[in-house]
């Protein structure tokens, strides 16, 4: 097995299932592995103007391409790249989006920061799902996964995303000029950070 495919020692063998504590106000979310039942959500995300530019969701995916995306999410854990979860409504278990935790320095394989990325399908936005999922996964990363600091990188125009970050307890600490390529263009990014409370 090539070394790039070896599992990082710090990663667990299975994707955990994380659920918002029952006493928490709605919406409550479950973070779980993607299944074939989530194909429709992936196909709708593939028609979003932004999501295919910042993720590996293909543009205008048919069912085979959406299933291939789901298989790639399972491989993230196997390859040691990180944890990719479907965000599901905790009551119905219907998938509404995706959130990933990508270990950097905590894996000891790179000095890059530990980061989280997320998206919510267009039909499910403005219900609090992103903030609930980000808060839940950040708590898990800082406690169960022993990470010390999580970074988010958000374009300044993307108020929905930086308000999600602030709602989940992140604070903005920098504006990074020409930091990340989005499509063909280098974009400025706000950096948001959360550390253990």
Helix axes of 159-167 and 129-143: crossing angle, nearest 10 degrees: 50
Ramachandran angles phi, psi of 149, nearest 5°: -165, 130
What is the binding site for ligand COA (CB under 6 A)? 50-51, 54, 118-120, 125-131, 154, 158-161, 163-164, 167
- Two tokens, residue 37: 């039942």
Contacts of 108 (CB under 8 A, 6+ apart): 8, 10
CB of 131 to ligand COA, least distance (A): 4
Distance CA 130, CA 108 (A): 28
Cβ proximity to ligand COA: between 127 and 172 the closer is 127
When CB distances to ligand COA are compared, the closest residue is 160
Instruction: Please tell me the distance from the alpha carbon of residue 155 to that of residue 140, in angstroms, as a whole number.
Output: 25
Question: Least distance to ligand COA from the beta carbon of 93, Å?
Answer: 17
CB of 100 to ligand COA, least distance (A): 11
Q: How far is the CB of 96 from ligand COA (least distance, A)?
A: 8
Minimum distance of ligand COA from residue 74's CB (angstroms)? 22
Q: Which is nearer to ligand COA, 93 or 166 (CB)?
A: 166
Calpha distance 133→96 (Å, rounded):
11
d(CA 153, CA 3) in angstroms, rounded, equals 29
Closest CA to 12 of 104, 149, 144: 144
Residue 197 and residue 148: Cα distance in Å, rounded?
Answer: 11
Task: Using the minimum distance from each CB to ligand COA, give the nearer residue, 77 or 131.
Answer: 131
Which is closer to ligand COA, CB of 55 or CB of 107? Answer: 55
The residue (of 11 and 189) whose beta carbon lies closer to ligand COA is: 189
Write down the least CB distance from residue 54 to ligand COA, Å. Answer: 6
* 128/169 with CB nearer ligand COA: 128
């Amino acid at each position: 097995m090539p070394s790039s495919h070896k599992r990082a020692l710090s990663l667990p063998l299975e994707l955990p299932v994380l659920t918002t504590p029952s006493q928490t106000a709605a919406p409550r979310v479950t973070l779980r592995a993607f299944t074939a039942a989530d194909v429709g959500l992936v196909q709708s995300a593939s028609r979003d103007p932004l999501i295919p530019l910042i993720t590996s969701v293909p543009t205008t995916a048919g069912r085979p391409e959406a299933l291939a995306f789901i298989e790639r999410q399972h491989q993230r854990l196997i390859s040691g790249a990180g944890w990719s979860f479907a965000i599901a409504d905790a009551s119905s278990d219907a998938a509404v989006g995706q959130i990933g935790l990508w270990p950097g320095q905590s894996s000891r394989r790179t000095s890059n920061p530990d980061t989280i990325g997320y998206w919510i399908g267009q039909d499910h936005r403005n219900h609090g799902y992103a903030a609930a999922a980000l808060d839940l996964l950040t708590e898990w990363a800082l406690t169960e996964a022993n990470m010390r600091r999580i970074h988010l990188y958000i374009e300044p125009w993307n108020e929905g995303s930086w308000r999600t970050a602030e709602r989940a307890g992140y604070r903005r600490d920098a504006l990074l000029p020409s930091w990340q390529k989005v499509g063909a263009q280098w974009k400025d990014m706000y950096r948001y950070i959360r550390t253990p409370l």
